[in-house]
């Protein structure tokens, strides 16, 4: 027992902070309908603000903590409420884009301001302590647990005693009924976001001394917290706190026993394992389902006229064929643009057409890349490329199965967790990148194709063209029709005989297949590729950039590939952190625009009419002349209405 004690104590300390973060997430999720993937990023931002105040400006720590908490529970809470207000009934995918955009934006900003040097966070709490059974317990640890549990207890009492608290519980229970009975939803949501941000800030400040001031690590704190949320079934606040403790203790004790790689990567993924088990075991009806508006995210556009389609297609084909001549030494950039267009196309099929979310698409690409590398020299290049996709497809199904019965947010959580699990546990194994964390593959050489940059560009172009042909055929065919109907009326399709979950899994596997092929192209192009290129943050960036370029199946991923892979080679002013920040920021804006698309269109139309009618002002005589007294024959009735 005494050898376990230090692990138990560490686990309880971190666990209570995970619980604290989890409570913030559950409270805001249930009152506003928005699951905040940026919660960890907010915690990270708070830790940096505290650091700046305390360490740089030498503000005493209690004051610095108070200022930080005050700032986050008022200003940041208010901003988040404003931001998420328009997302309350938006489709799941849009909410995920907005909050992961927030995550990227904040993380990018922190790297921009503070650089990517991991700083030591000052141990501001007293490090002296006492001994229990030969184990040192510092006052810092005691204070952390005390603050977290006091925060939880105060919130618990607040929700039970005060009017606002009772109203908040009512909103969690039944939002529609609560607003009907005269409670003010705005006040309730604002209070929830204020408390949520405060809790995020507190957990960030208290966790930073242990984790170090690393924006990435703190940002992905949300993953630790969602293990806690899952144990509380995304509903119960006390159970979430208890869940945080459980996750913390199990993860900490696991570090004692799982010390050799790749098993040493398991402890940080403990919350994810809890999440999977809970989603598999708990019936769907026990978990909160969002009342998302049901509509397809692909905008309704009339099909292009044939002549125009041919002209456009022909022109793009000619340009693409002549790219090697036109761009000179920047050709590899364009090849990688084509590669990313394959991965982004697979993501667009999944997110925009089927309404499912993947926050681990780069992990599927990684499966493809490593399969390609393993098969290199053993099989013909084309066959290896195909197999790279074939291996990635079942991996996709495996990830999506636990959430097939449920609404999209749980799929988003699962995929984010899976991406991290892959990076921590599977990437370093012989199955994927191995201990060197990189793999190699050679370019195709056959007939007159000699493996030069130019010929590889044409090979990639062919694969990309085939991919887009497949995407278009799927969308126009049976599956596309079923998917479009599924985004609006899944119940109807079920009662007419369609096994909706199976079709969802089918799309997931097709998407993973294409992503795998994209990954295989990625490794063949550069010859060697590191596991880092397929991390969870890369997957989030992929989704953010896709959303920025709209919700069309073919056009958006192509534009996104240009923005992601080609543009940075031409506009070299923006570094990686600036790109992350920009992509995050614009993804938030894009999500808001998509969520309010009809309003935005109306607003634009109104702006257009008002500027048109302004031309009709001025001397009355002009107006009379402009308006014929007898309507011209054959006037379009639609216009006159």
Q: Which residues are CB-neighbours of 499 under 8 A, at least 6 positions away?
A: none
Can you list the pairs that 592-598 forms with residues at least 24 positions away whose Cβ atoms lie under 8 Å? 592/83, 592/86, 592/87, 592/98, 594/90, 594/94, 594/97, 594/297, 594/547, 594/551, 595/86, 595/87, 595/90, 595/91, 595/94, 595/98, 596/86, 597/299
Instruction: Note whether 510 binds other proteins by CB under 8 A.
Output: yes
Closest CA to 227 of 280, 289, 286, 270: 270
Interface with other proteins by CB under 8 A: which range of 317-325, 351-359, 482-490, 549-557?
482-490
Instruction: Note whether 282 binds other proteins by CB under 8 A.
Output: no
**Residues between 457 and 476 that touch other proteins (CB under 8 A):** 474
H-helix or E-strand containing 528? strand 528-530
DSSP 8-state secondary structure symbol assigned to residue 131: E
Q: How far is the CB of 485 from other proteins (least distance, A)?
A: 5
Q: How far is the CB of 268 from other proteins (least distance, A)?
A: 35
> What is the end-to-end Cα distance of the chain in Å, rounded?
82
Q: Which residues are CB-neighbours of 370 under 8 A, at least 6 positions away?
A: 431, 432, 433, 439, 519, 523
Q: Which of residues 494, 601, 622, 623 is near other proteins by CB under 8 A?
A: 494
Instruction: Note whether 127 binds other proteins by CB under 8 A.
Output: no
Cis peptide bond N-terminal to 14, omega within 30? no
Binding-site size for other proteins (CB under 8 A) equals 27
Which residue lies nearer to other proteins by CB, 258 or 485? 485
**For the window 287-326, what string marks contact with other proteins as x by the rule CB under 8 A?**
--------xx---x--------------------------
**Residues between 386 and 415 that touch other proteins (CB under 8 A):** none
Q: How far is the CB of 486 from other proteins (least distance, A)?
A: 9
State the Cα torsion 314-316-317-318 to the nearest 10°: 90
Residues 44 and 204: their CA atoms lie apart, in Å, by 6
Q: How far is the CB of 295 from other proteins (least distance, A)?
A: 7
Q: Which residues are CB-neighbours of 358 under 8 A, at least 6 positions away?
A: 347, 350, 351, 364, 396, 399, 411, 415, 508, 511, 539, 543
Q: Which residues are CB-neighbours of 425 under 8 A, at least 6 positions away?
A: 262, 263, 265, 266, 269
Q: How far is the CB of 296 from other proteins (least distance, A)?
A: 5
Instruction: Note whether 488 binds other proteins by CB under 8 A.
Output: yes
Distances (CA, A) of 66 to 53, 71, 146, 212, 616: 11, 8, 16, 21, 58
Q: How far is the CB of 489 from other proteins (least distance, A)?
A: 5
Q: How far is the CB of 267 from other proteins (least distance, A)?
A: 38
For the chain, helix, strand, coil in percent to 5 are: 75, 5, 25
Q: Which of residues 506, 542, 560, 585 is near other proteins by CB under 8 A?
A: 506
Give the Cα-Cα-Cα angle 221, 565, 585 (nearest 5 degrees): 45
Instruction: Note whether 495 binds other proteins by CB under 8 A.
Output: yes
Instruction: Note whether 598 binds other proteins by CB under 8 A.
Output: no
Q: Which of residues 362, 369, 479, 553 is near other proteins by CB under 8 A?
A: 479
Instruction: Note whether 641 binds other proteins by CB under 8 A.
Output: no
**For the window 365-384, what string marks contact with other proteins as x by the rule CB under 8 A?**
--------------------
Q: Which of residues 59, 164, 482, 530 is near other proteins by CB under 8 A?
A: 482
Strand positions, DSSP E, 68-174: 129-132, 135-138
Q: How far is the CB of 487 from other proteins (least distance, A)?
A: 8
**For the window 188-207, what string marks contact with other proteins as x by the rule CB under 8 A?**
--------------------
Q: Are 341 and 463 in contact (CB under 8 A)?
A: no
Which residue lies nearer to other proteins by CB, 403 or 503? 503
Interface with other proteins by CB under 8 A: which range of 7-15, 105-113, 125-133, 491-499?
491-499
Q: Which of residues 306, 496, 614, 627 is near other proteins by CB under 8 A?
A: 496
Per DSSP, helices labelled H in 162-184 are 163-173, 175-180
Instruction: Note whether 128 binds other proteins by CB under 8 A.
Output: no
Q: Are 354 and 501 in contact (CB under 8 A)?
A: no
Q: Which of residues 415, 503, 538, 556 is near other proteins by CB under 8 A?
A: 503
Residues 254 and 275: their CA atoms lie apart, in Å, by 17
Q: How far is the CB of 401 from other proteins (least distance, A)?
A: 14
Instruction: Note whether 119 binds other proteins by CB under 8 A.
Output: no
Q: How far is the CB of 503 from other proteins (least distance, A)?
A: 6
Q: Which of residues 259, 289, 311, 499 is near other proteins by CB under 8 A?
A: 499
Neighbouring CB atoms inside 10 A of 629's CB total 5
Q: Which residues bind other proteins (CB under 8 A)?
A: 295-296, 300, 474, 477-479, 481-482, 484-485, 488-489, 491-500, 502-503, 506, 510
């Amino acid at each position: 027992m005494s050898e376990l004690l230090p692990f138990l104590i560490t686990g309880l300390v971190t666990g209570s902070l995970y619980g604290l973060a989890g409570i913030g997430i559950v409270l805001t999720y249930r009152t506003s309908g928005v699951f905040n993937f940026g919660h960890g990023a907010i915690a990270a931002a708070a830790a940096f603000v505290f650091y700046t105040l305390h360490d740089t400006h030498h503000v005493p720590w209690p004051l610095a903590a108070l200022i930080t908490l005050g700032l986050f529970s008022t200003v940041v809470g208010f901003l988040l409420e404003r931001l998420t207000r328009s997302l309350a009934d938006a489709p799941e995918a849009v909410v995920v884009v907005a909050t992961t955009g927030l995550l990227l934006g904040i993380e990018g900003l922190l790297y921009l301001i503070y650089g990517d040097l991991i700083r030591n966070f000052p141990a501001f709490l007293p490090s002296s302590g006492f001994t229990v059974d030969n184990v040192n317990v510092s006052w810092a640890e005691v204070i952390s647990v005390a603050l977290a549990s006091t925060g939880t207890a105060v919130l618990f009492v607040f929700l039970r005693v005060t009017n606002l608290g009772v109203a908040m519980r009512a909103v969690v229970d039944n939002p529609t009924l609560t607003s009907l009975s005269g409670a003010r939803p705005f006040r309730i949501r604002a209070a929830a976001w204020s408390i949520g941000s405060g809790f995020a800030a507190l957990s960030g400040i208290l966790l930073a001394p242990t984790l170090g001031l690393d924006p990435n690590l703190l940002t992905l704190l949300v993953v630790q917290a969602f293990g806690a949320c899952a144990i509380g079934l995304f509903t119960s606040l006390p159970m979430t706190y208890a869940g945080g403790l459980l996750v913390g203790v199990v993860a900490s004790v696991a570090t004692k026993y799982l010390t050799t790689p790749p098993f040493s990567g398991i402890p940080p993924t403990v919350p994810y394992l809890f999440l999977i088990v809970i989603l598999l075991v708990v019936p769907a009806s026990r978990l909160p389902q969002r009342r998302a508006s049901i509509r397809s995210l692909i905008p309704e556009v009339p099909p292009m006229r044939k002549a125009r389609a041919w002209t456009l297609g022909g022109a793009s084909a000619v340009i693409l064929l002549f790219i090697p001549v036109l761009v000179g030494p920047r050709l590899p950039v364009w090849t990688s643009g084509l590669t990313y267009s394959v991965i982004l196309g697979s993501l667009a099929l999944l997110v925009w057409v089927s309404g499912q979310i993947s926050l681990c698409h780069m992990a599927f690409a990684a499966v493809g890349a490593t399969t390609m590398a393993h098969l290199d020299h053993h099989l013909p290049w084309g066959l290896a490329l195909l197999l790279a996709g074939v291996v990635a497809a079942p991996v996709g199904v495996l990830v999506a199965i636990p959430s097939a019965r449920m609404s999209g947010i749980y799929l988003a959580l699962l995929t984010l967790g899976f991406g991290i699990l892959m990076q921590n546990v599977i990437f370093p194994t012989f199955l994927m990148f191995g201990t060197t964390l990189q793999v190699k593959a050679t370019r195709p050489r056959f007939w007159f194709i000699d493996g030069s940059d130019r010929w590889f560009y044409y090979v990639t172009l062919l694969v990309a063209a085939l991919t887009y042909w497949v995407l278009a055929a799927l969308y126009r065919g049976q599956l596309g029709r079923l998917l479009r109907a599924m985004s609006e009326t899944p119940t109807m399709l079920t009662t007419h005989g369609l096994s909706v979950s199976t079709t969802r899994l089918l799309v997931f596997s097709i998407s993973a297949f294409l992503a795998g092929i994209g990954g295989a192209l990625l490794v063949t192009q550069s010859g060697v590729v590191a596991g880092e290129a397929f991390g969870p943050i890369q997957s989030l960036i992929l989704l953010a950039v896709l959303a920025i370029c709209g919700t069309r199946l073919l056009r958006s991923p192509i534009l996104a590939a240009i923005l992601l892979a080609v543009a940075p080679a031409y506009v070299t002013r923006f570094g990686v952190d600036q790109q992350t920040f920009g992509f995050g920021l614009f993804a938030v804006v894009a999500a808001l625009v998509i969520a309010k698309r009809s309003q935005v269109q109306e607003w634009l139309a109104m702006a257009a009419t008002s500027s048109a009618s302004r031309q009709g002002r001025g001397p009355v005589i002009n107006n009379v002349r402009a308006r014929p007294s007898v309507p011209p024959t054959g006037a379009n009735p639609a216009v006159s209405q």
